[in-house]
Structure 1
Amino acid sequence: MSSKKVVTVAVLVAVLTWSTVMTALGQVAAAAALLPSLGLLVQQIVQALTAPDGSRPPTEPGPTAVGGQEPPR
């Protein structure tokens, strides 16, 4: 596992631990306010961990990407 992945997992664990502690201390509103950003964090980390090192997820070319012209209508 690369050092980038280790740091990524450490950040995820720290954020999820903090959210759990806040909820246990009765700060449910604080944890609930962070749910959307926590969901995005988890999604990005999973994507980073499943993609090969140094690569980006494949994207489909748009209609102007092939040949620089729009398709006929």
Structure 2
Amino acid sequence: MIERYRAARDDGRAKAAALDHGAGDYVPWPKSLSAYLLGELRREHELRYFVLDHTQFDAKFQAKEGYQPL
């Protein structure tokens, strides 16, 4: 993930430097790692959750054999 951030940052800086009259006040995206994460975190990671049936676990909270959570 950090490599993709650095590549995006370097690409944005290169494109800004290539502008005819320089970058001026323009700040290429991403201007920081936090800005990158706000825009790209959903592409980098996936959130999943499962509904667990407590009757499918023993007293030590170990799943019974063959149990697949929904």
Structure 2 length-normalised TM = 0.36
Structure 1 length-normalised TM = 0.35
CA radius of gyration, larger in: 2
The structure with the largest helix share of the pair is 1
